[in-house]
């Protein structure tokens, strides 16, 4: 009897463990779906979601969101993102990719109304009041959003930029359909582009001369002229022709170019003799504060640009110059006290002028602020050398 009871309890435990493991496995899926309830339908619209590889391992990190209306865009966006982000978020910051379902009737009707009925905002309301809040509620987002689109969906990207620009920070529109009053973009653009206010917005618009795009080239050129003559200063825009390339290649080219241009300010280290850096470390900090608070809305560290300026000064030679370089390194450490690269750079600068005790102090802080094996090995060797020199 006891043996039978023990076997029964063991069986229940195994089933419970299997159930928990199955639930955990489901929670850990990087490719998943999100049901979005809407007042426009009695059933939710199910969107496809791809989470970045680090999502479940780095639970303190928050992520960008890229949205595309085309259901088949999921595959190429996922592949491009995986390739372009696996080198430490460069050049594509790790991103949550959301794509629309194939053939959803409600979503199709909302898109059709936006295209055919001037002033209809149901699609915009759905994105603002249902879709985007559902994404933010379910996933660890950081508030920065990109809208991506090709042909008709690119036209809807421009429609969204004109009518509710605050929904997304950046818009990539490849080979947009604009002819025949598509979503009334051409008619509305002059006035609405000029009136655009608020935080910076980004637009990458492209096309090519392929046979499939010939019918849109006149309206594309018209839209390009309108943007160049009417755009508010808050809109950073880039317009490019990929002439000579294939029609179906256009969204891939647009996404790659758009990503590089959008995040160039994030990745690019300011040249020491640039207009900003030549004004000194405080100007550099002010520039990165603008990027953090206005352009991106998440932290963009100035560390690398401060270090570049300090090294530039130190390379000029002379004690006074080296002291000035140390002061710039100190600005970096004060602004980013948990930056291992800032502490390491300052430690090296102190070592070069023979202040080995201070070098040891900051190299220890560099070690304390990183777990990466490469940097820990590098800093450990530097620390040993500084400690040895301090005893001489």
How far apart are alpha carbons 18 and 248 in whole angstroms? 45
pTM of the model: 0.90
The predicted pLDDT at position 239 comes to: 98
Q: Enter the DSSP assignment of 100.
A: P
Residues of the domain holding 109: 26-267
* Residue 312 domain flag: yes
Query: Could you give the strand order of the β-sheet that contains 170-174, starting from the edge strand earlier in sequence?
Result: 31-36, 45-50, 95-99, 63-68, 141-150, 170-174, 201-207, 235-241
Q: What is the pLDDT of residues 225-244, one digit of tens each?
A: 999 999 999 999 999 999 99
Strand ranges for 73-169 from DSSP E:
95-99, 141-150
Residues 139 and 213 in one domain: yes
Residues 34 and 110 in one domain: yes
Q: What is the pLDDT of residues 48-68, one digit of tens each?
A: 999 999 999 999 999 999 999
Torsion 289-294-295-298 (CA) sign: positive
Residues 194 and 285 in one domain: no
Among residues 208, 238, 267, which one ends one of the domains? Answer: 267
The predicted pLDDT at position 51 comes to: 98
Residues 253 and 361 in one domain: no
**CATH number of 71's domain:** 3.40.50.1820
* Residue 18 domain flag: no
pLDDT interval class at 108 (50, 70, 90): very high
Q: What is the pLDDT of residues 257-301, one digit of tens each?
A: 999 999 999 999 999 999 999 999 999 999 999 999 999 999 999
- Cβ(158)–Cβ(178) below 8 Å: yes
Kindly report the backbone phi and psi dihedral angles of residue 352, in degrees, each rounded to the nearest multiple of 5, phi listed first. Answer: -65, -25
Of 245, 69, 80, the C-alpha closest to 148 is 69
* Residue 13 domain flag: no
The predicted pLDDT at position 300 comes to: 97
**CATH number of 310's domain:** 1.25.40.10
The predicted pLDDT at position 35 comes to: 98
Please identify which residue in the block is written with the tokens 């496995």: 25
Residues 135 and 160 in one domain: yes
> Is the confidence at residue 329, as pLDDT, over 60?
yes
* Residue 335 domain flag: yes
How far apart are alpha carbons 141 and 148 in whole angstroms? 17
How far apart are alpha carbons 215 and 110 in whole angstroms? 25
Residues 212 and 80 in one domain: yes
Residues 242 and 293 in one domain: no
* Residue 33 domain flag: yes
Among residues 267, 286, 314, which one ends one of the domains? Answer: 267
Degrees, nearest 5: CA angle 325-330-333: 135
Please identify which residue in the block is written with the tokens 């300052």: 346
The predicted pLDDT at position 322 comes to: 86
Q: How many domains does the chain have?
A: 2
pLDDT interval class at 14 (50, 70, 90): very low
Report the phi/psi class of residue 316: left, alpha or beta, with left for phi > 0 and alpha for psi in -120 to 50: alpha
> Is the confidence at residue 26, as pLDDT, over 50?
no
Residues 67 and 180 in one domain: yes
């Amino acid at each position: 009897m006891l043996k039978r009871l023990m076997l029964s309890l063991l069986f229940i435990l195994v089933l419970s463990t299997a159930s928990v493991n199955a639930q955990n496995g489901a929670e850990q899926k990087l490719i998943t779906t999100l049901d979005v309830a809407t007042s426009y339908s009695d059933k939710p619209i199910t969107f496809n979601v791809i989470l970045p590889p680090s999502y479940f391992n780095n639970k303190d990190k928050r992520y960008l969101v890229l949205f595309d209306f085309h259901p088949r865009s999921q595959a190429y966006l996922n592949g491009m993102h995986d390739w372009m982000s696996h080198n430490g978020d460069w050049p594509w910051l790790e991103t949550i990719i959301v794509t629309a379902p194939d053939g959803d009737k409600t979503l199709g009707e909302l898109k059709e109304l936006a295209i055919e009925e001037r002033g209809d905002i149901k699609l915009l309301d759905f994105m603002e009041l249902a879709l985007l809040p559902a994404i933010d509620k379910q996933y660890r987002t950081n508030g920065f959003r990109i809208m991506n689109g090709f042909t008709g969906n690119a036209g809807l990207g421009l429609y969204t930029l004109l009518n509710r620009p605050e929904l997304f920070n950046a818009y990539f529109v490849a080979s947009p359909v604009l002819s025949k009053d598509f979503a009334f973009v051409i008619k509305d653009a002059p006035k609405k582009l000029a009136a655009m206010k608020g935080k910076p917005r980004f637009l990458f618009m492209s096309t090519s001369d392929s046979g499939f795009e010939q019918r849109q080239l006149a309206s594309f050129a018209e839209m390009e002229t309108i943007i160049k003559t009417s755009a508010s200063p808050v809109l950073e825009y880039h317009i490019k022709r990929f002439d000579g390339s294939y029609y179906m290649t256009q969204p891939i080219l647009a996404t790659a170019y758009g990503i590089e241009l959008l995040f160039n300010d994030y990745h690019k280290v300011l040249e020491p003799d640039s207009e900003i850096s030549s004004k000194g470390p405080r100007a550099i900090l002010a520039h990165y504060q603008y990027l953090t608070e206005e352009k991106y809305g998440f932290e963009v560290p100035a560390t690398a640009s401060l270090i570049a300026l300090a090294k530039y000064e130190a390379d000029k030679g002379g004690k006074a110059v080296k002291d000035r370089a140390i002061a710039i390194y100190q600005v970096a450490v004060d602004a980013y006290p948990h930056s291992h690269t800032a502490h390491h750079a300052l430690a090296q600068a102190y070592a070069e002028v023979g202040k080995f005790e201070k070098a040891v102090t900051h190299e220890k802080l560099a070690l304390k602020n990183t777990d990466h094996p490469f940097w820990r090995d590098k800093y450990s060797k530097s620390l040993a050398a500084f400690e040895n020199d301090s005893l001489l």
